[in-house]
Chain A
Amino acid sequence: MLTYRANIVLWFLTAVVQTAFLLYLWIAVYDSGGKIGNYSFQELFTYYVLQLIIYQVATTFISWDIIQEIKDGNFSQYLLKPVNYFKWQFTSNLSFKAAEIVFSISGLIIVVLAAQRYLLMPDSMLTLLHTIVLTILSAILAFLLEFIIGITAFWIINAHNLRMLVSVFNRFFSGSLIPLTLLPGPLIIISQFLPFPFLSYVPVQVYLGKINIGNAYAGMIFWIIFMAIFAYYYFKLSIKRYEAVGA
């Protein structure tokens, strides 16, 4: 437990440093009179801070755990009741999540106090509420995605490679590098077919008032249902194949 907590701290620290560098970059741009798209400096700053917090709260690393368990051959113990494996991953993840959320909120408070004048407040409590709800939903979506990637270890030997590949797309299309509306046209089109924008980009944009709330919910729920159904059948198929091979 202690080592896992250390991992969360490390990951958060890495994310904070990365965000710090991005912010330094933006300060350098805006200080010399430059601009990024139609974002004011405050909007951009708020974007990155929020993006960092929400991304941290929403995402998990369970794909790594699942892949390792399958590779190490520890999966057999779960074979008796496969549906419970999903539940087990979900609930054991929740307790870590709670620790992460506490940690993130403390970090958020520090940032808010330190950089008040750069941060934008939401235009209403309702907006804030929507942001929070969408963040919770994106956590569910993130979990489903991680689960699906994790069980590809049943099918391919180098599941870790796939995991890393997807994480590159994940990072990019969840807007952690740059707001998606600033991407070149073709990439914006691609992003609209991927679930990744809903992981942190959409909740942040709702907060900033740059996205239609109805569309946000609709898209989010669509992806959650789609991924849930996909995960269910994919998992069942994987188990069948695993049992066939194992026997």
Chain B
Amino acid sequence: MIYRTNFLMFLVFDILGTMTVVIFFKIIFNENKLIAGWDFESTLILIGTVGLVRQLSFLTFREGFGMLGHIIPKGRFDLVLTKPFSSQFLVAFEDITIIEGFGEGLLGLVLIIYGAVNSNASITVLSVLFFLLFVICSYVLYYSFTLMINSLAFWVNRTQGLQSLVYNFLDMALYPRDILRGFGKIIFTFIIPISIVATVPAQALMGNLKIEMAAILFTMTIIFFTLANFIWRKGIRRYESASS
């Protein structure tokens, strides 16, 4: 019974959040045909892609890493450490739930399909494959980012602010990267790579992805994954020395 209400809540919440954004862009595109070269349909693909990545993360590591903020201060992390598996993956995938609500992912798919069908982009089987490839890449990037931020629980006590940071990370990925310029472009591509998370897969699908962008996404993913693991291990060491 509790799960049923929870599921509905998540579904409603997901749909509301996404529709808010869709309405927002619809209002803007009502008066303007293009924004930095993107039309409404391509923006829908962008929004849908963010939804997909978010959904995948909710289905897997989001809850798990989010729990770090609770487990670590209460000293319950020992339980994770004693197990013979990688503590990182234990925490990440401990909470795989199918019930958490497909709302975002389904709606994301709907938006992508609608946008793809109604745009004049050339979509081929190859572009779909590349799309999936880059979605997985962005997923790993988001995984790394989430791991990094939540690892701060080893140093900081209250992590509620960090949670909203992680969530909002994807919120900002649904703006077409081409609106950025100058300083902002550099920061949001190479330091906080939110601008590439959805834009690269979306452009891959529509067939107008530049090879440098793909390279940047791959590189940033590798960098962030390495960095995240480094911080994670440092955190564990800190935890172990603190509890001994």
* A positions within 8 Å CB-CB of B: 3-4, 6-8, 10-11, 14, 17-18, 20-21, 24-25, 27-29, 32, 34-37, 61, 64, 157-158, 161-162, 164-165, 168-169, 172, 177-178, 182-184, 187
Contacts and interface: CB of A to CB of B under 8 A. Distances in A.
A7 B171 CA distance: 19
Contacts, number: 93
B83 interface: no
Interface string B20-43: 100110011001101110000000
Contacts of B5: 158
B16 A3 contact: no
B158 A34 contact: no
Contacts of A7: 158, 160-161
Contacts of A29: 28, 32, 35
A18 B28 contact: no
B32 A165 contact: no
Given A168-B20, A184-B27, A32 B34 contact: yes
B163 to A, nearest CB: 10
Contact of B13 (A21, A165, A172): A165
Contacts of A27: 179, 181
B10 interface: yes
A24 B13 contact: no
A34 B34 CA distance: 9
Given A7-B161, A34-B32, A168-B17, A17 B156 contact: no
- Taking chain B's interface residues, is the majority helix, strand, or loop, or is none over half, making it mixed? helix
A8 B165 CA distance: 11
B27 A25 contact: no
Nearest to A68: B160
B161 A184 contact: no
Contacts of B28: 25, 29, 36, 178
B32 A35 contact: yes
Given A28-B178, A35-B31, A161 B161 contact: no
A14 B165 contact: yes
Given A7-B158, A10-B161, 10 more contacts: A11-B161, A14-B164, A14-B168, A18-B172, A20-B184, A24-B179, A161-B10, A165-B12, A178-B28, A187-B23
A64 B17 CA distance: 20
Contact of B171 (A18, A158, A178): A18
Interface of B: 2, 5-6, 9-10, 12-13, 16-17, 20, 23-24, 27-28, 31-32, 34-36, 156-158, 160-162, 164-165, 168, 171-172, 175, 178-181, 184, 192
B13 to A, nearest CB: 6
A184 B156 CA distance: 44
24 contacts: A3-B157, A6-B161, A7-B161, A14-B165, A17-B168, A17-B172, A17-B192, A18-B171, A18-B172, A20-B184, A25-B175, A25-B179, A27-B179, A29-B28, A32-B36, A34-B31, A35-B31, A158-B5, A161-B6, A161-B9, A162-B9, A164-B13, A177-B20, A187-B23
Contacts of A161: 6, 9-10, 13
Contacts of B178: 28
Contacts of B158: 3-4, 7
B172 A158 contact: no
What are the 3 A-B residue pairs with the smallest beta carbon separation, nearest first?
A7-B161, A34-B32, A10-B161
Nearest to A9: B161
A24 B181 contact: yes
Contact of A28 (B13, B17, B35, B156): B35
A29 B10 CA distance: 33
B156 A25 contact: no
B31 A158 contact: no
B23 A184 contact: yes
